[in-house]
Copies of this chain bind each other. A is one copy, B any other.
Amino acid sequence: MKTLNVQLGARSYPIYIGSGLLDRSDSIRPHIPGRQVLIVSNDTVAHWYRDRLEQALHGLEVDVALIPDGEAHKTLETCNGIFGALLERRFDRTCTLVALGGGVIGDIAGFAAACYQRGVHFVQVPTTLLAQVDSSVGGKTGVNHPLGKNMIGAFHQPLCVVADTDTLSTLPDRELKAGLAEVIKYGLIRDPEFFSWLEEHLDSLLARDNEALAFAIERSCRNKADVVAEDERERGVRALLNLGHTFGHAIEAGCGFGTWLHGEAVAAGTMMAADLSVRLGWLADAERHRAGQIFSRAGLPVHPPKDMSPDAFRRHMSVDKKARDGRLHLVLLRGIGEAVLSGDVPSSHLDATLRATIAAA
Which residues of A approach B to under 8 Å, CB–CB? 34-36, 76, 79-80, 83-84, 87-88, 90, 92-94, 114-119, 140, 142, 145-148, 151-155, 233, 318-319, 321, 323-326
Contacts and interface: CB of A to CB of B under 8 A. Distances in A.
Given A80-B145, A87-B147, A90-B319, A154 B118 contact: yes
8 contacts: A76-B79, A80-B145, A83-B151, A87-B319, A115-B152, A115-B153, A115-B154, A154-B154
Contacts of A114: 154
Closest 5 CB pairs of A and B: A87-B147, A92-B323, A118-B153, A117-B321, A115-B152
Given A87-B319, A118-B140, A154-B154, 7 more contacts: A76-B79, A83-B145, A84-B146, A92-B321, A94-B325, A115-B154, A119-B155
Contacts of A118: 140, 142, 153-155, 321
A152 to B, nearest CB: 5
A90 B80 CA distance: 25
Nearest to A147: B87
A94 B329 CA distance: 13
B87 A80 contact: no
Given A114-B154, A140-B118, A92 B324 contact: yes
Contacts of A94: 324-325
A87 to B, nearest CB: 4
B321 A151 contact: no
Contacts of A155: 118-119
Given A119-B154, A142-B118, A153-B115, A93 B147 contact: no
Given A119-B155, A155-B118, A84 B147 contact: yes
A114 to B, nearest CB: 7
A119 B80 CA distance: 20
Contact of A324 (B93, B148, B319, B324): B93
Number of this chain's copies in the assembly equals 2
A150 B35 CA distance: 23
Contacts of A80: 76, 145
A90 B117 CA distance: 30
A226 B54 CA distance: 44
A359 B92 CA distance: 30
A321 B146 CA distance: 32
A336 B35 CA distance: 36
A93 B323 CA distance: 7
Nearest to A327: B92
A325 B147 contact: no
A145 B84 contact: yes
A116 B325 contact: no
B92 A325 contact: yes
Nearest to A35: B325
Contacts of A116: 151-152
Contacts of A326: 35, 90, 92
A169 to B, nearest CB: 34
